[in-house]
């Protein structure tokens, strides 16, 4: 059985020495990998971000990625090169990347030049300002933004949703997605997890709330496409439950 696991968190460049990242450590992904690797019949490939915690078991095959672009490229290469029976997409993927950066004075000048001083209705003015903002970043990105600049504005653009690739590339794979929110009612969290499952054809989704995660606790609910719900309380429980559900589904589907 071949299993692909993504772990850690991507980071996006601001310039050549600065990045925007998130707080994901890859610890849960590494525990899931180690849990699968207790079975000698399972081979695990881990796509890990640069500083992610790695699995302890040496049989894990490790591929390093950095940003969303490198993650997408590696996913496509891997899934064209070999068949995966299951994909566990635990990585916290950046929702945005830097389109351009600009000092506030320069940005103000560009806006004034683009928008002009004519009287306009609010809707037209808003559209003109929006267009001007998007057109401001036409130049090359600096290798290093000067630290002498008092105020720097970053324009962020959405990154592609990697979770949507897996079933497109290999429809037969068992896909486990992850949904993390913060400080919400359980009904909202479950609705978001079910929407993720439906949009991306996940077989399972782990729903968790950032406020219920700390060093020794990780409250989560593993949802199945069959409407099953498994409540879990630690990272070790989560890893064991994901392996159990995936292995069971693989056997039901006749996968080796």
Domain residue extents for the chain = 2-95+161-252, 97-158
Structure confidence by residue, pLDDT tens digits, 215-226: 889 999 999 999
Indicate the average pLDDT of the chain: 91
Structure confidence by residue, pLDDT tens digits, 194-241: 999 999 999 999 999 999 999 889 999 999 999 999 999 999 999 999
Which 3 state secondary structure label does DSSP give 55? coil
- Which residues lie across from 103 on neighbouring strands? 152
DSSP H helix total and E strand total for the chain: 7, 12
Closest to 166 measured CA to CA, from 249, 89, 242, 93: 89
What burial letters (b/e) apply to 8-20, b meaning 16+ CB within 10 Å?
bbbbbebeeeebb
Token output for 181: 């929110």
Question: Structure pTM?
Answer: 0.88
CATH superfamily of 2-95+161-252: CoaB-like (3.40.50.10300)
Closest to 140 measured CA to CA, from 97, 104, 101, 96: 101
pLDDT score recorded for residue 24: 93
Given the DSSP bridges, would you call strands 218-224 and 229-232 parallel, antiparallel or unpaired? Answer: antiparallel
């Amino acid at each position: 059985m071949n299993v692909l696991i993504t772990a850690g968190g991507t980071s996006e460049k601001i310039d050549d020495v600065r990045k925007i990242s998130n707080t994901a450590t890859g610890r849960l992904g590494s525990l899931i990998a180690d849990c699968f690797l207790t079975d000698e019949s399972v081979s695990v490939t881990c796509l890990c971000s640069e500083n992610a915690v790695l699995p302890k078991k040496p049989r894990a095959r490790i591929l390093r990625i950095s940003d969303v672009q490198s993650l997408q490229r590696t996913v496509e290469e891997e899934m064209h090169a070999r068949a995966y029976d299951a994909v566990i997409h635990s990585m916290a993927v950046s929702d945005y990347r830097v389109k351009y950066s600009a000092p506030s004075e320069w940005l103000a000048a560009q806006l004034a030049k683009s928008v002009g001083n004519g009287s306009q209705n609010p809707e037209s003015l808003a559209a003109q300002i929006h267009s001007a903002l998007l057109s401001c970043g036409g130049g090359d990105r600096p290798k290093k933004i000067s630290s002498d600049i008092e105020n720097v504005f970053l324009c962020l653009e959405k990154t592609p949703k990697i979770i949507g690739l897996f079933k497109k590339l290999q429809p037969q794979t068992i896909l486990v997605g992850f949904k993390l929110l913060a400080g919400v009612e359980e009904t909202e969290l479950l609705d978001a997890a079910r929407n993720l499952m439906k949009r991306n054809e996940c077989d399972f989704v782990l729903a968790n709330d950032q406020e219920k995660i700390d060093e020794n606790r990780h409250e989560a609910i593993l949802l199945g496409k069959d409407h099953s719900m498994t409540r879990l309380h630690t990272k070790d429980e989560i890893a064991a439950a994901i392996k159990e559900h995936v292995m069971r589904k693989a056997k039901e589907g006749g996968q080796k």
